[in-house]
Amino acid sequence: MRIVLAYKWTCDPEEATVRADGTVDWSRAKPGLSAYDPVAIELARQCADAVGAELIGVTAGDAGVAAPIAAKAALGRGLDRVVIVEDGSLADAGRSELAAVLAEAIRHIGDVDLVVTGDSSVDVAAKMVPTVLAGELGWPAVAEVTSITGQAGALRVERAIPGGVQVLEISGPAVLAAAADAAAPRVPGMKDLLAAAKKPVELLELAALKISPPDAVMTVTGRARPERKARAGQLIDTADPAKAAAELVTALRQAGAL
């Protein structure tokens, strides 16, 4: 069985600042594995260990994604090897383009039975890549996955749904997006980190991949910050909770919020 883990090397938006014109300054943000990817790696690693599968990381992006430290950080978390598509044009790639590149890299690897991704990327958080990637591959996509067991062609997947758990049986290859809390990611040990440099890293040229041009291109044409609204500063001053609630409801209705 061959499992692919699609990960993202990016910056934490908490370390970014928003300029006056609404654009984001990432220059002081430290790059790293996207926050939910270690969860996905842990979930996939558990599945791979249970069935003796190979776990291959796949990622795509601009120059930073192919930096040795980026590959080592991912490999140190438990991947067996990584395949990296690096191209400057991917710096501003949209979700569809990125998914198309990842799909082609997965076809390049070949014989892949399962793709696991994180819940969302920490920088964009669009939650689109797993679904679009599945569409590119012609496979089913499942989000909010909390457990993966079984074998290739006979996977048993659990996903969180409002008020319970949905259990799915999947007979063919699939793209599974791990729930944000699907597994507690292990902190890599010192030996894991030092061994990462010895694991295989395959760099793919974007030009070498046969990627169809997207049918429609989405371009960001503007950014605006929401206008700050003046606060009412209205104080409800009573020790009676019922009276306070009634006053709050009245005030919210008067403000048009209810």
Partner 1 sequence: MDFELTDEQQLIRDAVREFAETEVTPIAAELDRDHRFPYELMPKLAEMNLMGMPYPEKEGGAGADYVSYVIAVEEISRACASTGIIVSAHTSLATWPIFKFGTEAQKDRYLADMASGRRLGAFALTEPGAGTDAAAGTATATLHADGYALNGSKMFITNAPYADVYVVFAKTDPERGARGMSAFIVEKDTPGFSVGEAEHKLGIRGSSTPPVYFADCRIPKEALLGGEGDGFKIAMQTLDGGRIGVSAQALGIAQAALDASIAYAKERVQFGKPIANLQAIQWMIADMALEVDAARLLVYRAASCVDNGRPYSTEGAMAKLFASEAATRVAGKAIQIHGGYGYTESYPVERNYRDAKITELYEGTSEVQRMVIARSALR
Residues that bind partner 1 (CB under 8 A): 32, 68-69, 72-73, 76, 187-191, 193-194, 196-197
Question: What six digits make up the tokens of 20?
Answer: 């006056």
Report, in Å, the least distance between residue 187 CB and partner 1: 5
Report, in Å, the least distance between residue 223 CB and partner 1: 27
Report, in Å, the least distance between residue 191 CB and partner 1: 5
Of 61 and 76, nearer to partner 1 (C-beta) is 76
Report, in Å, the least distance between residue 38 CB and partner 1: 10
Of 68 and 172, nearer to partner 1 (C-beta) is 68
| Rg from Cα positions in the chain | 22
Report, in Å, the least distance between residue 198 CB and partner 1: 11
At 58, phi and psi to the nearest 5? -135, 135
Of 32 and 57, nearer to partner 1 (C-beta) is 32
Of 184 and 220, nearer to partner 1 (C-beta) is 184
Report how far residue 112's alpha carbon sits from residue 125's, in angstroms, rounded to the nearest whole number: 26
Number of neighbours of residue 169 by Cβ within 10 angstroms: 9
Report, in Å, the least distance between residue 145 CB and partner 1: 24
Of 41 and 137, nearer to partner 1 (C-beta) is 41
Of 74 and 114, nearer to partner 1 (C-beta) is 74
